[in-house]
């Protein structure tokens, strides 16, 4: 009984890695105030999903899904791998948009620390017309 | 194959191909022309699709002739044909509005890129609605979201940047949750085709993986559609984005997310699983009522009128989810009607505010004093849109509230019906605050302010006219929404 449970726990080690990575990324995302660190957390979070998909497609004893002569050959499932290639591209795009925004935020606020940004934003009074202080220059 | 057979893919591909062209041409006028052409062609295609689907049932389109379920299938039924019409109607109106409004609010150099992002966002939203493949949904979701972050960050106020960044973080987390859900579904069923999934899933209802997938999808989708309490990204993003972007996003992005929720939970998992096994209706009822009540209350105390309307949007999304939580055809009809109707009224309202920004550069409530006499047409459009938001008879807002209350009474939940009426009065309060300032307060100075130019007023009034026309002649929209609701509930004749 005990050993059965243990082998089940050990046998699904890939999922433990995924869960650990996901929670690590999520924690960084929530707890860090630095925008760049937030993006790093987001990346770790997304990477855990890549691992989830990739390990889903692996079949024990399966070979790479390239047609071979042996009719008995067992192939890994290529579809999750292809899907995750798309998701990796999306992840790169998200990171680059995020970093581009971080650069612009640094230009506009002079900082990428969330609490300092909040302080500056709390000081903006938009009662009057556009509130020149809030504008970003030409 | 004739060109007509390719309609399901055309409205997605045309904006997608025009977008890089916009980025390449570097001419503001040409880029705008391409954006307008893309939006109008999508509108024409989706209207044709809707009439074809209404007449002869769902259309299946195999991309690259790879037969489903192995290839990607685009499947158009009444539900997504309806959503396609909603998105492309607003896109066409906003495209014409954008020419002058964007020129005033976005730097010259960035204008061609603005239209490129606009077309990408449009093509992503249309793609989500058209596709019949769950992973394809994710891809289009990210196309539309990434371009939306870029569009929001183009706002004049520097807070546009931080709100775009926050939206990026929360939106990516939501999208990642959706991918996890899709991956778990694939792990259990071995398919990504919606039609296929809906046939296989009932056999594996008991699997814990399926329930976990359901949970991940629920959280991810609710983040995307800004259901209270996952709405935190929305108010600032709407408040600081350029006016044309706010009008476009408020009227389409969250609506498409609501469509995704309906598609995943009713078509793929099935109404029996969602309402019977998972008890989704009770959870959504609670969240929807909290959203409607608390967000209407918050809206009343906002000083920035754009942000006021943004909070009101979160409340209005609550109405759509409320219709879903009735778990009945009437409730869903209300959801689908409100999907379109809210797009029309918020589109009109945010466009009217864009006219105000164009002339006085601010949407702070104090800055709008006396505008009723200085910009009579703009403010009249705002009042008309506001009345529709409140749900006054002869406007579309009345039609959807009517069905919502019918749905509540059908279930015997009269306190819910009363709450809908009370929150309508709250909507009246926050609309009235603006009206009072604009019409009954003297302007702050004697500076003459001209009425907004016709190129802004015409699209605004076109949406206002639709608000009124479809509020009076509601038979056709109700018919389509009802048929779509039946399709979703699986009780279509």
Which residues of B fall within a CB distance of 8 Å from A56?
Answer: 183, 186-187
Of B35, B54, B39, which Cα lies nearest the Cα of B88?
A: B39
- Euclidean distance between CA atoms B463 and B236, whole angstroms: 24
Mean pLDDT lowest for which of A69-73, A124-128, B61-65, B236-240?
Answer: A124-128
Q: Measure in Å the smallest separation between the Cα of A103 and chain B Cα atoms.
A: 10
Angle at A16 between CA A13 and CA A19, to 5 degrees: 155
For residue B8, name the pLDDT band (cuts at 50, 70, 90): confident
CB contact under 8 A, A127 and B139: no
Query: In this complex, do A49 and B176 lie within 8 Å of one another by their Cβ atoms?
Result: yes
Structure tokens at B274: 């969602």
Report H helices in B361-453: 371-374, 376-390, 396-410, 414-440
- Where does residue A14 fall: left (phi above 0), alpha (psi -120 to 50 degrees), or beta otherwise? alpha
Which residue of B158, B180, B187 is in closest CB contact with A109? B158
Give per-residue pLDDT as tens, B417-473. Answer: 999 999 999 999 999 999 998 888 888 777 778 888 888 889 999 999 988 888 888
Enumerate the β-bridge partners of residue B61: B74
Cβ pair B180, A49 in contact under 8 A: yes
Nearest C-alpha in A relative to B157:
A135
- Tell me, rounded to whole angstroms, the distance of Cα B343 from its chain centroid: 6
pLDDT tops 50 at residue B179: yes
The tokens describing B108, both together, are 């010259």
Report pLDDT digits (tens) over B29-76.
888 999 999 999 999 999 998 888 888 888 888 888 888 778 888 888
State the burial class of residue B309 (Cβ atoms within 10 Å of its Cβ: 0-12, 13-18, 19+): buried
Q: Do A86 and B135 touch (CB under 8 A)?
A: yes
Categorize the per-residue pLDDT at A129 as very low, low, confident or very high, splitting at 50, 70 and 90: very low
pLDDT of residue B492: 58
The residues, ordered by sequence, that sit 6+ positions from A126 with a Cβ below 8 Å of its Cβ are A134, B157, B304, B362, B364
Q: What is the pLDDT of residues B144-169, one digit of tens each?
A: 999 999 999 998 888 899 999 999 99
Ramachandran angles phi, psi of B396, nearest 5°: -65, -30
Both tokens assigned to B194: 């919606």
Res. A135 pLDDT band, cuts 50 70 90: very low
**Contact list, A127 vs chain B (CB under 8 Å):** 303, 364, 366-367
Percent of chain B residues past pLDDT 90, beyond the cut: 45
* Residue A138 confidence class, pLDDT cut points 50, 70, 90: very low
Q: Tell me what pLDDT residue A134 has.
A: 44
Å from B301 to nearest chain A CA?
Answer: 14
Domain limits, chain B: 279-493
Looking at the predicted structure, is the pLDDT value of residue A126 above 70? Answer: no
Asked whether the beta carbons of residue A121 and residue B162 sit closer than 8 angstroms, the reply is: yes
Q: Which two tokens stand for residue B180?
A: 């996890």
Alpha carbon separation from B282 to A104, B266, B277, B322 (Å, rounded): 43, 15, 12, 10
Distance CA B308, CA B300 (A): 7
Interval B313-347: pLDDT, tens: 999 999 999 999 988 889 899 999 999 999 999 99
CB–CB contact B149 A52 (8 Å): no
Distance CA A43, CA B149 (A): 17
**Which domains does chain A possess?**
2-117 (1.10.287.3510)
Tell me, yes or no, if A98 comes closer than 8 A to chain B by beta carbon.
Answer: yes
Nearest CA in chain A to B303: A127
Nearest alpha carbon to residue B217 among B276, B169, B274, B147: B274
- Measured distance CA(B99)–CA(A91) in Å, rounded: 32
Total-model pTM? 0.91
SS3 track for B144-184: HHHHHHHHHHCCCECHHHHHHHHHHHHHHHHHHHHHHHHHH
Is the pLDDT at B280 greater than 70? The verdict is yes
Which carries the bigger pLDDT value, residue B450 or residue A106? A106
Complex ipTM, two decimals? Answer: 0.89
Token representation of residue B191: 């398919």
Show which of residues 33-72 on chain A sit within 8 Å of chain B, judged by CB atoms: 35, 38, 42, 45-46, 49, 52-53, 56
Smallest Cα distance from A130 to chain B, Å: 5
The answer to whether residues B292 and B279 touch, using CB atoms and an 8 Å cutoff, is no
H or E stretch including A62?
none
| A132–B contact, CB cutoff 8 A | no
Report the residue of chain B nearest A117, measured CA to CA.
B162
Query: Could you tell me the pLDDT band of residue A127, with boundaries at 50, 70 and 90?
Result: low
**B473 to B234, B328, B343, B429: CA distances (angstroms):** 33, 24, 17, 27
Q: Which DSSP helix (H) or strand (E) runs through A87?
A: helix A78-109
d(CA B349, CA B251): 10
Measure CB to CB from residue A134 to each of B157, B165, B186 and give the nearest one: B157
Q: List CB contacts (< 8 A) between B367 and chain A.
A: 127-129
Which chain A residue is nearest to residue B358, measuring alpha carbons?
Answer: A130
Cβ-defined contact of B158 to A134 (cutoff 8 Å)? yes
Closest residue of chain A to B177, computed from CA coordinates: A49
Eight-class DSSP state of B59: E
- Does the pLDDT at position A131 exceed 60? no
């Amino acid at each position: 009984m005990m050993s059965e449970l243990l082998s089940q726990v050990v046998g699904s080690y890939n999922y433990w890695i995924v869960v650990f990575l996901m929670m690590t990324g999520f924690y960084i995302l929530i707890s860090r105030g630095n925008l760049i660190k937030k993006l790093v957390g987001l990346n770790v979070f997304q990477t855990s999903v890549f691992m989830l998909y990739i390990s889903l497609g692996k079949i024990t004893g399966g070979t790479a899904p390239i047609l071979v002569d042996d009719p008995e050959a067992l192939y890994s499932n290529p579809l999750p791998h292809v899907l995750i290639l798309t998701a990796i591209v999306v992840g790169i795009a998200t990171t680059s948009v995020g970093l581009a925004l971080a650069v612009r935020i640094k230009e506009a606020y002079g900082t990428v620390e969330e609490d300092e940004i909040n302080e500056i934003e709390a000081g903006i009074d938009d009662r009057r017309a556009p509130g020149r202080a809030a504008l970003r220059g030409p | 194959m004739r060109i007509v057979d390719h309609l399901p893919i055309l409205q997605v591909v045309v904006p997608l191909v025009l977008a890089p062209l916009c980025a390449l041409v570097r001419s503001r006028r040409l880029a705008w022309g391409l954006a307008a052409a893309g939006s109008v062609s999508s509108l024409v295609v989706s209207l044709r699709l809707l009439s074809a689907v209404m007449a002869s049932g769902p259309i299946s389109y195999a991309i690259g002739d790879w037969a489903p379920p192995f290839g990607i299938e685009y499947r158009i039924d009444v539900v997504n044909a309806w959503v396609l019409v909603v998105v492309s109607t607003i896109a066409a109106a906003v495209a014409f509005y954008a020419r002058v409004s964007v020129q005033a609010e976005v730097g010259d150099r960035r204008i061609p890129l603005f239209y490129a992002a606009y077309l990408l966002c449009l093509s992503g939203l249309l793609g989500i609605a058209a596709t019949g493949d769950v992973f394809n949904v994710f891809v289009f979701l990210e196309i539309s979201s990434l371009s939306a972050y870029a569009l929001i960050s183009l706002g004049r106020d520097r807070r546009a940047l931080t709100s775009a960044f926050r939206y990026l973080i929360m939106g990516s987390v939501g999208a990642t949750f959706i991918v996890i859900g899709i991956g778990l579904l694939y792990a259990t069923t071995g398919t990504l085709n919606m039609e296929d999934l809906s046939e296989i899933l009932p056999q594996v209802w008991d699997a814990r993986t399926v329930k976990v997938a359901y949970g991940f999808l629920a959280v991810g989708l609710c983040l995307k559609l800004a259901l209270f309490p996952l709405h935190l990204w929305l108010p600032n993003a709407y408040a600081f984005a350029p006016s044309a972007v706010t009008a476009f996003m408020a009227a389409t992005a969250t609506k498409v997310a609501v469509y995704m929720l309906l598609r995943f939970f009713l078509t793929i998992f099935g109404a029996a699983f969602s309402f019977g096994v998972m008890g989704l209706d009770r959870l959504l009822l609670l969240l929807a009522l909290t959203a409607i009540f608390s967000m209407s209350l918050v809206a009343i105390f906002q000083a920035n009128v754009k942000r006021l309307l943004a909070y009101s949007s979160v409340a209005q999304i609550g109405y759509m989810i409320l219709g879903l939580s009735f778990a009945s055809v009437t409730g869903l009809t209300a959801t689908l009607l409100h999907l379109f109707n809210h797009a029309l009224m918020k589109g009109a309202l945010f466009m009217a505010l864009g006219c105000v920004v164009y002339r006085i550069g601010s949407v702070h409530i104090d800055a709008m004093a006396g505008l009723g006499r200085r910009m009579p047409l703009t403010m009249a459009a705002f009042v008309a849109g506001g009345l529709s938001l409140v749900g006054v008879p002869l406007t579309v807002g009345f039609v959807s509230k009517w069905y919502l209350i019918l749905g509540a009474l059908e279930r015997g939940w009269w306190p819910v019906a009363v709450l809908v009426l009370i929150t309508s009065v709250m909507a009246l309060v926050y609309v009235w605050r603006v009206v009072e300032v604009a019409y009954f307060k003297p302007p702050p100075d004697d500076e003459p302010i001209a009425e907004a130019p016709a190129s802004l007023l015409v699209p605004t009034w076109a949406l206002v006219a639709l608000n009124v026309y479809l509020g009076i002649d509601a038979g056709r929209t109700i018919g389509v929404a009802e048929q779509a609701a039946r399709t979703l509930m699986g009780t279509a004749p």
